[in-house]
A and B are shown apart, each in its own frame.
Chain A
């Protein structure tokens, strides 16, 4: 089950080398995103587009707000 985390948790995981996925549309990703985040829009999240991610490592996902 995915865990919900807050900012401090994100910072700690980033220090440990976590992967970050921005699931917003590419235009929004282009405007601003977290350092090192890769963009895979939600509708494109599938086995093929996630191939470059390590499946056994931590992955953080985020969007724009609590929407």
Chain B
């Protein structure tokens, strides 16, 4: 639809026409601002905790474990230089061989969700699957944060 609109605008005399082909789906999924009726619906991006610990794939598990344990967190997201999510170190992996690299120990390819997913809907899906937390990324795989189901439930309870 947008390519036709772009060509139509050129035909109407517009000289600098750009077609955002990935569309508003891409925009909102990246957690960027929205206007309209749905903008007041709490989303995963609203409740995601952005301060989740991260580490590089080549870091040693023992070093990462020490860093994570100095916080209130029990997990760490493994990201590359572009903050693209590669894997997850949960308690189990953090307790594994301290000389292994994060890449060797991590749980590869954790399930991720986009920031524009409605928080209530996500909490319901997680409840059915017995999942407590989920990694939130942009459509390009860049880390946004970690969402806890209890945070989403708390927020939707407050809205009710």
Contacts and interface: CB of A to CB of B under 8 A. Distances in A.
Contact of A42 (B1, B10, B12, B19): B1
B25 A45 contact: no
Nearest to B27: A34
B2 A59 contact: no
A50 B35 contact: no
Contacts of A33: 24, 34-36
Interface residues of A, number: 44
Nearest to B15: A56
How many residues of B sit at the interface, in one of the four size bands? 35 or more
Nearest to A2: B6
B18 A60 contact: yes
B49 to A, nearest CB: 24
Contacts of B8: 42, 45
Contacts of B25: 64-65
Interface of B: 1-10, 12-28, 30, 32-39
29 contacts: A1-B10, A2-B3, A2-B17, A3-B17, A4-B3, A9-B20, A18-B18, A23-B5, A31-B36, A33-B35, A33-B36, A34-B33, A37-B35, A55-B12, A55-B14, A55-B15, A56-B15, A58-B17, A60-B18, A61-B2, A61-B6, A61-B17, A62-B27, A63-B2, A63-B5, A64-B23, A65-B25, A66-B21, A66-B23
